[in-house]
Structure 1
Amino acid sequence: MRQVHLIPRELLDALRIGGYDVSPGDIGENITTSGLDLESLPLDTELRIGATTVIRLTGLRTPCVLIDRFQAGLKNRLLNGMPGPPFRAGVMAVVSVGGVIAPKDPIKAILSQAPHLRLPPL
């Protein structure tokens, strides 16, 4: 359920504005996206990345104490200092079709079949 961790670039930008010095990869994510509202996508959404890679969203990443080891107070900021879901720390996914991905590869979201279920905390 937790093979790949994705974080939207917009979340990192908001954290930096809030005084946290975070850059892509700093808090354990494997992929940083841009222009996708990851936390709002439904369960089992497929993300097609680059030419061949497909991953399936399995849940919201629950912020853990390890985030505070990176920077004090960051976990609390992710739990209740951001608009949207009860916490914002990106999403988790599993690999459906492996492949090589590279920076700036396009990402296409393919929604799961209705009814759309919210991503559960993982």
Structure 2
Amino acid sequence: MTHILSVNLAHPRPNPAKPAVGSTGIDKRPTAGPVEVRAPGPKGTGLHSGLVGDAIFDTRNHGGDDQAVYAYARESLDEWERELGRELPGGCFGENLTTVGLDVDGALIGERWRIGDRLVLQVTCPRIPCSTFARWLDEQRWARRFAERGLPGAYLRVVEPGPVRAGDPVEVVHRPDHDVSVSLVFRALMTDATLLPRLVDIAELPEEDRELARRRTATPPYAPED
């Protein structure tokens, strides 16, 4: 059954990758009870995370309505476990929702998921690796390896608020009529600039990502740091 394996909330800790920010909420751990999910408002000025009880500190780059919730597939974590030779529990990639049986990276931008009885989320964009993520995983060339593997996970916006808990079923209730997936957007922004023109007309993609695609169309693709 396609379902939520764990719901993960931040355990704040110092952020050596960004001393000016001070702390990071990338260390997320499963929580037992239901967690309310609601639209947090604009990036930088709202409630930051879509999950009550979660924490985001680098509010210039993370959080807000278009990045209200971050989902990552347990199946992708399993792939990384085999490659890295270490245990990767749910939440360790900073994801709020660890899923089972759901093609998170193949999800279309604008796709909607119903989780449990009330919560509806909409896929918006992939996660882009940053220095905090690289420092947290402490693996050589992590940002580049993450980019090359192409398993970014998906950010989501809140369409209908509601609770979420481990075990909740997930149903894809809407798929848009284009073929631009989370994985394609990630490859366009990270490794394959020839895909950039396909992003600019996808209305469900956050405007900041569409504008980035426009600017990069005539320039070399982003080169992630090692």
Taking structure 1 as the reference length, what is the TM-score of the superposition?
A: 0.85
Name the counterpart of 2:163: 100
Contact preservation (8 Å) 1:41, 1:111? no
User: 2 CA distance for matches of 1:77 and 1:111?
Assistant: 32
More helix by share: 2
Q: Deviations over 1:54-73 (max 9, x none)?
A: 00000111122211111222
* Cα-Cα RMSD: 1.6
Shift of 1:111: 3.3
User: 1 CA distance for matches of 2:168 and 2:90?
Assistant: 15
Q: Comparing 9-18 with 71-80, which one deviates more in the overlay?
A: 71-80
User: 2 CA distance for matches of 1:25 and 1:118?
Assistant: 23
Name the counterpart of 1:77: 145
Tell me which of 50, 60, 65 is aligned to 2:126: 60
SS of 1:100's equivalent in the other structure is: strand
Name the counterpart of 2:92: 26
Shift of 1:112: 2.5
Name the larger-Rg structure. Answer: 2
Taking structure 2 as the reference length, what is the TM-score of the superposition?
A: 0.48
Relative contact order, CA 8 A, sep 6+: which one is greater?
A: 1
Shift of 1:13: 0.7
Shift of 1:27: 1.9
User: 1 CA distance for matches of 2:157 and 2:77?
Assistant: 22
Task: For structure 2, list consecutive stretches of 5 or more residues without a partner in the other structure.
Answer: 1-65, 187-208, 210-226
- Determine what percentage of the aligned residue pairs are the same residue: 25
